[in-house]
Chain A
C-alpha cells in the first residue's frame, strides 16, 4: 500500500523524446502524486529537457550521450544520494502506461519481491505487437534466465520495473551495463539473493522517436547479452558477496 512515508522516485531515461515526455511526466504525477519524477536526459538534441521541466519533472542532463543503462544508473545514484526507498523505472517513449504503476509497485511495497518487472506478455488484453525476430530474442533470453533461476521470465527486455533500495544500491557498484541492462542485471540481482517477479501490464507501441534496437543493434545486442550473461554466471560469487 502506498503511504506518504515512502520516498518513491520515478526514473525516466530519455533521449530525444520531445513531444512525448511532457505527457508521460504529467500522467505519472497524476497516478502517483507522492512520487518525485526524475527525467534523465541523455544529451537529447531536441526539447526533451524543457518539456520535462515544464511538466514538473526534475531533470538531470548528461552533457554527453552515455546510453540507456548509464541514464538509469544516474537515476540510481540520484536515488541513493537523496535517500529514496523505491525506484520505478519506465521508458520515455510512451510504451509504458502510468496507470499500470500500482501493479508493479505493490509487490515491492508489500515485501513480496525486490524487483518487479512489468511483462507485456502476461497480460491477456494487450494489443502490443512486436516483430518475430524481437520476440524470438526475448523468448531466448527469458528461457536462459528461467533455466538458471527456475523463475519464469517472459519479458526480459521490459524496462518497466520497480526496485527497492537494496537492489539499486547493488546496481551502483560499478557493474551496471551502460547500454542494454536486461536479463543480465536481473540475473545479477538473482545471484545477490533478490527476489525477481513479473506482473502483467499493458504496454503501447512506441509513440515515436528512434528505438535503441534500431539498425544493426539487435545483432550487437544478442552477442553482447550472451557474453554478459556468461560473465554474470561466472562472477556469481561476487554478487553474493555484495549482499553478505
Chain B
C-alpha cells in the first residue's frame, strides 16, 4: 500500500470512528442499536493499520484480491444493518399498536 493511500484511508476510517463515538455521546445514536456501527468503526482503521491481516484473511476465504473481501464484508454488514432495522421497526410497530390500543381503551373508560 502506498503511503499516501495509507494516510488517506487511516484518516477516513478514524473520522468514521470518531463520528460514531460522537453520535453515541450526544445521544443521537442509541447505544442499544450501535453495535454494528461501532464494529465497523473499529474494524475500518484496524484493517488500514494491519493490512496484512486483510491479505491473510482474503487468502483464507479464497478471495482473489483484498478488495473482493472488503466488498463482500461491506455488503454483508449492510445486509445485517437492514435486518437489524427491520427487527427494530417490527418491534416498534408492535409497541405502537399496543400503546394505541391501551390509550383508546383508557379514553373510553374516562
Contact partner of B104 (CB less than 8 A), chosen from A60, A81, A174, A178, is A60
- Shortest A161–chain B CB gap in Å is 19
Q: How far is the CA of A81 from the CA of B105 in the complex (A)?
A: 10
Q: How far is the CA of A66 from the CA of B98 in the complex (A)?
A: 10
- Whether the pair A78, B100 counts as a contact (CB closer than 8 A) is no
- Whether the pair B97, A70 counts as a contact (CB closer than 8 A) is yes
User: Which secondary structure dominates chain A's binding surface?
Assistant: mixed
Answer whether residue A77 sits at the interface, using C-beta atoms and an 8 A cutoff. yes
Q: Which residue of B lies closest to A67 (CB)?
A: B97
Q: How far is the CA of A60 from the CA of B97 in the complex (A)?
A: 14
Which residues of B lie under 8 Å from residue A66 when comparing CB positions? 97, 100-101
- Shortest A156–chain B CB gap in Å is 24
Q: Which residue of A lies closest to B93 (CB)?
A: A178
Known: A63-B100, A64-B100, A66-B100. Contact between A74 and B94, CB under 8 A? no
- How many A residues are at the interface, by size bracket? 10 to 19
A residues 91-135 in Cβ contact with B at 8 Å: none
- Shortest A77–chain B CB gap in Å is 6
Answer whether residue B103 sits at the interface, using C-beta atoms and an 8 A cutoff. yes
- Whether the pair A60, B102 counts as a contact (CB closer than 8 A) is no
- How many B residues are at the interface, by size bracket? 10 to 19
Q: Which residue of B lies closest to A71 (CB)?
A: B101
A residues 35-84 in Cβ contact with B at 8 Å: 40, 58-64, 66, 70, 73-74, 77-78, 81
Contact partner of B108 (CB less than 8 A), chosen from A59, A70, A73, A178, is A59
Answer whether residue B107 sits at the interface, using C-beta atoms and an 8 A cutoff. yes
- Shortest B53–chain A CB gap in Å is 40
Question: A-facing mask of B33-67, CB < 8 A → 1, else 0?
Answer: 00000000000000000000000000000000000
- Whether the pair A74, B107 counts as a contact (CB closer than 8 A) is no
Question: B-facing mask of A118-159, CB < 8 A → 1, else 0?
Answer: 000000000000000000000000000000000000000000
Known: A70-B101, A77-B102. Contact between A58 and B94, CB under 8 A? no
Which residues of A lie under 8 Å from residue B105 when comparing CB positions? 60, 74, 77-78, 81
- Whether the pair A62, B108 counts as a contact (CB closer than 8 A) is no
Could you list some 18 contacts between A and B, CB below 8 A?
A: A40-B104, A58-B108, A61-B107, A61-B108, A62-B104, A63-B100, A63-B103, A63-B104, A64-B100, A66-B97, A70-B97, A70-B101, A74-B101, A77-B101, A78-B105, A174-B94, A174-B98, A178-B97
Pairs of residues from A and B, 5 with the lowest C-beta to C-beta distance, nearest first: A74-B101, A60-B108, A60-B104, A62-B104, A70-B97
